Amino acid sequence: MRLIDAALDLLLGASCHGCERPGASPCPECRALLRPCPQQVAQSAQVGCPVVAAMRYEPPVSSFIIAHKDRQAWQLRGVLGGLLLDTLRALPTAELLVPVPSTPSAERERGYDHTRALAAYCAARLHIPVKRVLTSRSGVDHAKLTAAERADEVRGRFSARPGWGRVIVVDDVITTGATAAECVRTLRAAGYTVSGVVAVAATPAPGGNAAPGCDQLR
């Protein structure tokens, strides 16, 4: 493996997205840190259903999520999808996976629907369908918004095709929970039963404990 990593660095300039060590990504050291610990997070109360994340949103997983989402590191789909797959098994079974959609402009800019790619990875292994039930109108960057501003900004952003059955919403990161809550509300209004929300990682809720920890849900 060390020889392969060295060859990749020499020929492709490859480096680990977690620690920037030359070679394949993730490197063995970072891969060892990517251990899913599915736990229901504090944002569940706001969302109105169980929200389960594989890890805390902190290095190295945060670096891999950013690279997959915004730096065209699409080869990380299997790494992050594997964390998500383990997390999905902590929730009741559903008939459909529904990815949280990006805004049209964000998807055009990336050239890749990162959340749908993660959901599709899991759906293929769980033998259940994944569909773009939700669509999003254009929005603004949430990075500099407060929790209250995020909630206001996403209100009414999503629309859903009418349907029925039990679904699980899939996202890469849960921050304040505002986006997940609006997705859940929209799906319920369209006729679906939402079993829960899953994410690769979650940030600590304001005023709450760091989440998720490592008391696994099984």
pLDDT per residue as tens, the chain (218 positions): 445 444 444 445 589 999 999 988 999 999 999 999 999 999 999 899 999 999 999 999 999 999 999 988 999 999 999 999 989 988 888 999 999 998 878 878 888 899 999 999 999 999 999 999 999 886 655 455 555 666 666 777 899 999 999 999 999 999 999 999 999 999 999 999 999 999 999 997 655 444 444 444 43
Q: How many domains does the structure of the chain reveal?
A: 2
Residues 23 and 119 in one domain: no
- Does 66 lie in the same domain as 29? no
Task: Indicate whether 81 and 55 sit together in one domain.
Answer: yes
- What burial class does residue 100 get, using C-beta atoms within 10 Å of its C-beta: 0-12 exposed, 13-18 middle, 19+ buried? buried
CA distance 106 to 70: 10
**Domain residue limits at 62:** 35-202
Is residue 76 located within the same domain as residue 131?
yes
Q: The dihedral of CA 9, 77, 1, 18: what is its sign?
A: positive
CA dist 117 and 104 (Å) reads 16
Q: Is residue 2 domain-resident?
A: yes
Residues with Cβ < 8 Å from 90, sequence gap 6 or more?
Answer: 38, 52, 198, 216, 217, 218
**How many of the other CB atoms lie within 10 Å of CB of 153?**
17
What pLDDT does 106 receive?
A: 80
Q: Does any domain span residue 99?
A: yes
CB 165 within 8 A of CB 98: no
- Tell whether 55 is covered by a domain: yes
**Residue 179 and residue 89 in one domain:** yes
